[in-house]
A and B are shown apart, each in its own frame.
Chain A
Amino acid sequence: MRFGNKTATRRELIFYALCLIVTSFALTALLITVGAIVASGALKLNLDFLLGFPSRKAEQAGILPALLGSAYIIFLVAVVSVPIGVLSALFFEEYLRNGPIKKMLDINLKTLAGVPSIVYGLIGLQIFVRTFDLGRSILAGALTISLLILPVVVIASREAIRQVPGSFREASYALGATKFDTIWRIVIPFSLPGIITGSILALSRAIGEAAPLICLGALTYVAFIPDGLFSPFTTLPIQAFNWISRPQPEFHQNAAGAILILIILLLIVNSLGILIRLKLQKRLNLG
């Protein structure tokens, strides 16, 4: 309780009660959503499901191709979008002077972050599938998702770079460092924990995205393991979507299983991110 008189009036109590109810409503909704998935999907957490292939029979169906597809996509997206994102953030914060151009690029970035993901899907279809003729491949999918999360990575990295105190930069320049030295030895090492946090957040989004891949024509029925960059593919959210769209409740249970594994994957990626960040921060404090 911040300020004002200690004893609350009745009207205040009513209002606080309302606030409390609404807050707990939101928390309950979160709990129920996750709970419903766990309750229905937990039965599916077995090796047959994990290592199986899609099937017309719900009880025989598995998610191996989707799981591997998602893994491929995360890996490729991370490899493409994080370096490009960090480099453009460096361009913004270290090379670009304040002025109309910076302002314009800034607005462009924020606008891109708000473009619906399905529009990225259509653009990916035009650029990667049609113009570059990559087909409905993992590569085309990963590049499309990379474009989608790039603005998020750039915005988060810029934020992290801005957190590096100006006094560190000054000290470095005063010792005769060039701009490149300062970026390489000071700015990047000290903003890395923040950059990683932001990138993990963006990658989490990439893992859950289905809409743009649907536009690209990621297949919903893939009964083989993707064998390279140009292989057709499916991912966990698409597989889940496919199963939800069927009328039979048994398939809905499969969908819950796929979603549960998707959530576990998200948790793994996020905890990895936290671990890397902690390790980096420890190293930074020690030098």
Chain B
Amino acid sequence: MEERSAIVTKGVSLWYNDFRALDSVSIFIPAFSIMAIIGPSGCGKSSFLRCLNRMNDLIDGAKVTGSIKIFGEEVLSTSCDVVELRRRVGMVFQKSNPFPKTVFENVAFGLKLKGIRDREFLLYKVEKSLRMAGLWDEIKDRLNHSALDLSGGQQQRLCIARALAVDPSVLLMDEPASALDPKSTAKIEELILELKKTVTIIIVTHNLQQAKRISDHCAFFLDGRCEEFGPTAKIFGQPDKQSTSDYVFGKFG
């Protein structure tokens, strides 16, 4: 199991100053699959996600210990190139956050950061990413319109396309559909299922039905610890721990 995993974490703990947000989390996440992280609010789901691309570095007073290996490379070591890491590990946020620029500029942002200027190539990549995000047919005539003119669901898919444009091997999604209506949510879920052919996806979700619908594996977090992880069918069928069963069968949360 561990050998075929895209991501392996060992004893990952996270402190915000004196507050311990994560307490030795050790899990593996298999490649080309969807791992859902579930748990009640404040259990550390999002914090854990942010450890994987070191977004916690941006917060004053945050400190991570333990080991995170993504395709065999240690993420937490000082020799890790954070910029390179974040290109390989894309992220989509809870609230869609397109830049107030054109659709094209949004998708091309990460490529331009790499210093790519060739217009033909940029156009090719923008089209490809928008196609992957299932957005191309809807907005191919509006590449030069402001991204803020798109609907909420389209904005979120644009953010996904923006993350895909730099060819990440892992995609982190932090409750990507929680602010969307059911129809847009369905589209996003469809998209996620399609994407697992090319990237490994870790999705934090509050919605148990969603986790059940789309994920291959599931991890249940409680109070900063990972209580249990395994195949989704098992977590939602016969979980090992009482707390997991209480949560997935709706006793709390």
A-to-B contact residues, CB < 8 Å: 97-98, 165, 167-178, 181, 185-186, 190, 284-287
Smallest CB separation, B29 vs chain A (Å):
18
Bound Cα distance from A181 to B114, whole angstroms:
10
3 interchain residue pairs of minimum CB distance: A287-B102, A287-B101, A176-B87
Bound Cα distance from A190 to B105, whole angstroms:
14
Does B90 sit at the interface, judged by CB under 8 A? yes
Bound Cα distance from A186 to B99, whole angstroms:
8
Bound Cα distance from A178 to B85, whole angstroms:
12
Smallest CB separation, A192 vs chain B (Å):
12
Let me know if A171 and B93 touch, CB within 8 A.
yes
Give the residues in chain B near A284, CB-CB below 8 Å: 100-101
Known: A170-B58, A170-B97, A287-B146. A178 touches B159 (CB 8 A): no
Let me know if A176 and B166 touch, CB within 8 A.
yes
Smallest CB separation, A174 vs chain B (Å):
4
User: Which single member of A168, A177, A287 contacts B83 (CB below 8 Å)?
Assistant: A177
Let me know if A176 and B86 touch, CB within 8 A.
yes
Bound Cα distance from A165 to B163, whole angstroms:
19
Give the residues in chain B near A168, CB-CB below 8 Å: 97, 99
Which residue of B53, B101, B145 has the most chain A CB atoms within 10 A of its CB atom?
Answer: B101
Q: List 8 A-B contacts (CB under 8 A).
A: A169-B58, A174-B53, A174-B55, A175-B166, A176-B85, A176-B166, A190-B100, A287-B101
Does B104 sit at the interface, judged by CB under 8 A? yes
Give the residues in chain A near B196, CB-CB below 8 Å: none
Smallest CB separation, A41 vs chain B (Å):
44
11 additional A-B residue pairs with CB within 8 Å, beyond A171-B93, A175-B87, A178-B83: A167-B97, A172-B109, A173-B55, A174-B53, A174-B91, A176-B87, A176-B166, A177-B86, A285-B100, A287-B104, A287-B147
Nearest chain B residue, comparing its CB with the CB of A171: B97
Give the residues in chain B near A185, CB-CB below 8 Å: 109, 112-113
Within 8 A of A (CB), among B121-169: 144-148, 159, 162-163, 166
B-to-A contact residues, CB < 8 Å: 53, 55, 58, 60, 83-87, 90-91, 93, 95, 97-102, 104-105, 109-110, 112-114, 144-148, 159, 162-163, 166
Bound Cα distance from A242 to B83, whole angstroms:
61
Let me know if A175 and B162 touch, CB within 8 A.
yes
Bound Cα distance from A12 to B102, whole angstroms:
54
Let me know if B100 and A170 touch, CB within 8 A.
no
Nearest chain B residue, comparing its CB with the CB of A167: B97
Let me know if A173 and B100 touch, CB within 8 A.
no
Bound Cα distance from A186 to B113, whole angstroms:
12
Nearest chain B residue, comparing its CB with the CB of A169: B58
Which residue of B60, B87, B90, B113 has the most chain A CB atoms within 10 A of its CB atom?
Answer: B113
User: Which single member of A97, A176, A190, A286 contacts B110 (CB below 8 Å)?
Assistant: A176
Give the residues in chain A near B145, CB-CB below 8 Å: 286
Bound Cα distance from A20 to B110, whole angstroms:
57
Which residue of B86, B87, B144, B159 has the most chain A CB atoms within 10 A of its CB atom?
Answer: B86
Smallest CB separation, A140 vs chain B (Å):
42
Give the residues in chain A near B105, CB-CB below 8 Å: 287
Smallest CB separation, B144 vs chain A (Å):
7
Let me know if A170 and B55 touch, CB within 8 A.
yes
Smallest CB separation, B208 vs chain A (Å):
26
Give the residues in chain A near B86, CB-CB below 8 Å: 173-177
Known: A176-B84, A176-B87. A171 touches B102 (CB 8 A): no
Known: A175-B110, A190-B100, A287-B144. A98 touches B60 (CB 8 A): yes
Let me know if A170 and B110 touch, CB within 8 A.
no
Give the residues in chain A near B90, CB-CB below 8 Å: 174-175
Smallest CB separation, A23 vs chain B (Å):
38
Bound Cα distance from A167 to B109, whole angstroms:
15
Smallest CB separation, B93 vs chain A (Å):
7
Known: A173-B58, A174-B86, A176-B87. A285 touches B148 (CB 8 A): yes
